[in-house]
Amino acid sequence: MTRAERAVLVLLCIFAVKFLFSTVARFLPVLQTVDMLGSGRHPVDVWLVLPCCTAVLGTFCLYRRALRAVGMRLTRFDGAVLGICCVLSAAFYLHAMLGRQSLYLWDNATYYNLQVRLESNFADGVFMGVGSTIYKTWFNDYAPFVINILLEPFFMFTARTANTFAIICALLIPSLVYFSALVLLGVLRRQLAPKSPRLFTALGMIFVLLMPLLHVALYRGMPDLLGVAFAFMLMALLTGYHFEAPAPARLVSLATFTGLLILTRRSYMFTVVTIFLFYGIYVLVRALHGRNRGALVRFVQFAVASLLCVGLPLAPMFWRIVRADYSDRYATYQTGGFLSELSNQRVYLGYFLLVVLVLGVLYGLYKNGTRFLSVLSAAGSLVTILLVTRVQNMDDHQSLAVAPFYLLGFFLCALAVANLPRRWMQAVPSAVLGGMCVLNFGACSQLLPPRYIPTEVYSGLYFYVDNVREDMDGIAQVNDWLRENCSGENSAYMICHGVVYSADVFRAAALPDESIRTILAYGAVNPGNDAFPKELFTAQAVLTCTPFDPSNHTEKINNAFLENQETYQPFEVAATFDMGNGYTITAYRRVKAPTVEELDTYRRWLAEEDAQFPYNFSAVWDQLETAFANNG
């Protein structure tokens, strides 16, 4: 055990003792003052820094162990390629993000919100921080536990704005992806012995550096890309190992990277299933064919141990995903299914990268020693897409679950070029592939105009963020009004939930100040996933906009609200805000107790949604009606 690994164990023991003390203090108030020492931003939360720094150090130790397990030593050429990739990537993201004046909204803001919430949870004490983190990992749809923990040591020393978070992600995560890709290429280089190993490595890294699918989500502040790094390490650890001999360090690394990959993003769970499904079949067939009973026993032992060490602690998360009918909950967005998603993936890749993938797969099937890798690339992509579409559609960030299989096919294409018999025969296709990768990435990132080549050839992913906001002063005025006139959790509600205005806009604009997120409830926009908003009856203020900015059933809610206002006058106009862009935000203050008659208006307007999702509508309305009756 190295010194760094011993340091990780010592730090974990210290944190475990602190957690036990915090748990006891939770039930003994006399200890709570002592327990809160070091918690909160003074200037940093000591008890959050400790586990997060431990996680970063532990990840470093894990990578070092994995490199030793696969016998990988990076050469000076590898280091030079890695350095070039990191510098070019950092330059691109800094150029795109420095001074960015747009808001990060919708899914783009989810990870930043969770990063801020992680700090808030630990500010309430270690017991609450650990408990809320475990709960969200088990039961939340978005549970990027690994992302938040690894980024926190860097994030907590910044201004903690959304753009700062995005820049940190863009500088750190691609570097780890490039390093992990280099490890996988090094393992493949040793096993497959290309005639031109440096060309194989360089061309493979060009595919990683310039694949638009890898970067488009990160460009918008979504760090899902981290999972690709862990998937590369899984592939590197599995390549060339058939359980024919004991390898405890390799197996521990495999199990750990598996857990990290699953905890990075829910969709990567299907990447894990696919990798081990195909690799397990390959190992079993090989062992049976060679009558190697020891390999069979070791593989079964590893599978059982992994299920106990990784699967059992995460069982609540798996059980929730298996039980949930996401196709029903996200019916508003769910369209097409598997065949439609295949068409989407073709667009995400574009014809150029699709041809590269096909050529790599065909070459892998042709050449001895690469047929399993070829099957894993092609069939693994299809199986992963099939599994994910049983749950939900695949936007660009969910499609990162398939990216490792695509890139494996690209690496096989690079192998085909590197194995050509003459230098000039290698140089010409390398120059064409490299040049096309530059043009493809340039067109998608809008750094280069898509000229001379049909747009269908390029990847259909264009890097963008929301437009620069020119209404930030108006947003600040609305938030100031909410702070002055509303008190308590979810004491205000905003009906509009469209592209221009929604509760997300005002909540995100205030961060890292969380006061607005406490006051202004999250808006209901997805009828299959979001329950009817009780805050229309319980909030002190309800806000809407003119002209109305609709999405899904929110316009019906707004029409019902205005009808109630005209008929029963349960609210008074408390304030209006000219946002300077043709929109006006109107804040209504409730002046009358809610009634069943108001509720009936919503029942009438939302009858269609209620028929489809009664658990989100009738169930809530019945509770409200009972509450009104009890309140007289």
In one-letter notation, the amino acid at residue 401 is A
Is 585 in a helix, a strand, or coil? strand
The verdict on residue 379 lying in a domain is yes
Mean pLDDT computed over 208-225: 93
Same domain, 349 and 245: yes
Confidence of residue 563 (pLDDT cuts 50, 70, 90): very high
Q: Which two tokens stand for residue 83?
A: 């350095």
The verdict on residue 462 lying in a domain is no
Backbone angles phi, psi at 19, to 5 degrees: -65, -40
From the number of C-beta atoms within 10 Å of its C-beta (0-12, 13-18, 19+), residue 405 rates as buried
Same domain, 496 and 538: yes
Q: Which of 457, 483, 502 is the last residue of a domain?
A: 457
Is 310 in a helix, a strand, or coil? helix
The verdict on residue 466 lying in a domain is no
The label of the residue with tokens 């209404």 reads 471
pLDDT tens for 433-470 read 999 999 999 999 888 887 778 888 999 888 877 667 88
pLDDT at residue number 210: 96
Q: Which two tokens stand for residue 608?
A: 């269609």
Q: Which two tokens stand for residue 222?
A: 């979504």
Q: Which two tokens stand for residue 394?
A: 């695949």
Look at the alpha carbons of 380, 382, 385, 388 in this order and tell me if their dihedral is positive or negative: negative
Strands 541-546 and 571-578: unpaired
In one-letter notation, the amino acid at residue 387 is L
* Per-residue DSSP letter, 230: H
Q: Which helix (H) or strand (E) holds 586?
A: strand 584-590
pLDDT at residue number 83: 96
In one-letter notation, the amino acid at residue 584 is T
Same domain, 120 and 251: yes
Same domain, 356 and 445: yes
More confident call, 536 vs 1 = 536
Rounded Cα gap, residues 439 and 382, in angstroms: 27
The verdict on residue 467 lying in a domain is no
Q: How far apart are the first and last CA of the chain?
A: 69
What pTM was computed for the model? Answer: 0.88
Confidence of residue 141 (pLDDT cuts 50, 70, 90): low
CA triple 401-405-408, angle to 5 deg? 140
Average pLDDT, the chain: 89
Same domain, 553 and 528: yes
Rounded Cα gap, residues 387 and 385, in angstroms: 5
* Distances 450 to 264, 344, 345, 439 between C-alpha atoms, Å: 34, 20, 20, 8
Same domain, 548 and 510: yes
Rounded Cα gap, residues 229 and 215, in angstroms: 13
Strands 584-590 and 541-546: antiparallel
The label of the residue with tokens 């002055």 reads 484
pLDDT at residue number 464: 78
Rg of the chain in Å (alpha carbons): 27
More confident call, 90 vs 504 = 90
Mean pLDDT computed over 570-599: 93
From the number of C-beta atoms within 10 Å of its C-beta (0-12, 13-18, 19+), residue 159 rates as exposed
Same domain, 99 and 171: yes
Confidence of residue 530 (pLDDT cuts 50, 70, 90): confident
Rounded Cα gap, residues 600 and 11, in angstroms: 58
pLDDT at residue number 598: 92
Rounded Cα gap, residues 64 and 249, in angstroms: 11
Same domain, 130 and 246: yes
Lowest mean pLDDT: which of 281-285, 330-334, 347-351, 430-434?
Answer: 330-334
Please give, one letter per residue, the 3-state secondary structure of 407-454: HHHHHHHHHHHHCCCCHHHHHHHHHHHHHHHHHHHHHHCCCCCCCCCC
Same domain, 363 and 423: yes
pLDDT at residue number 364: 95
Q: Which helix (H) or strand (E) holds 578?
A: strand 571-578
- Kindly give, in sequence order, each residue whose CB lies less than 8 Å from that of residue 12, ignoring residues fewer than 6 positions away: 51, 54
CA neighbours closer than 13 Å in the CB half-sphere of residue 90: 12
- Kindly give, in sequence order, each residue whose CB lies less than 8 Å from that of residue 285, ignoring residues fewer than 6 positions away: none
The verdict on residue 352 lying in a domain is yes
Rounded Cα gap, residues 573 and 541, in angstroms: 10
The verdict on residue 464 lying in a domain is no
Same domain, 19 and 155: yes
Same domain, 225 and 370: yes
Lowest mean pLDDT: which of 76-90, 303-317, 495-509?
Answer: 303-317
Rounded Cα gap, residues 410 and 190, in angstroms: 17
- Kindly give, in sequence order, each residue whose CB lies less than 8 Å from that of residue 184, ignoring residues fewer than 6 positions away: 232, 233, 235, 236, 239, 411
Is 546 in a helix, a strand, or coil? strand
Rounded Cα gap, residues 169 and 37, in angstroms: 30
pLDDT at residue number 631: 65
Mean pLDDT computed over 18-29: 89
Same domain, 445 and 500: no
552 has which bridge partners? none
Rounded Cα gap, residues 292 and 308, in angstroms: 25
The verdict on residue 390 lying in a domain is yes
In the chain, the number of structural domains is 2
pLDDT at 121 over 90: no
Q: Which of 233, 211, 616 minimizes the C-alpha distance to 414? A: 211
Q: Which two tokens stand for residue 110?
A: 């989810």
For helices 403-418 and 226-238, what crossing angle results, to 10°? 60
The label of the residue with tokens 């009606």 reads 625
Q: Which domain holds residue 594?
A: 472-630
Q: Which of 457, 488, 523 is the last residue of a domain?
A: 457
pLDDT at residue number 125: 86
- Kindly give, in sequence order, each residue whose CB lies less than 8 Å from that of residue 222, ignoring residues fewer than 6 positions away: 107, 108, 110, 111, 397
- Centre a 10 Å sphere on the Cβ of residue 163 and count the other Cβ atoms it contains: 20
Highest mean pLDDT among 301-315, 345-359, 514-528: 345-359
Q: Which of 257, 458, 284 minimizes the C-alpha distance to 355? A: 458
Q: Which of 406, 425, 457 is the last residue of a domain?
A: 457
pLDDT at 632 over 60: no
Rounded Cα gap, residues 46 and 153, in angstroms: 11
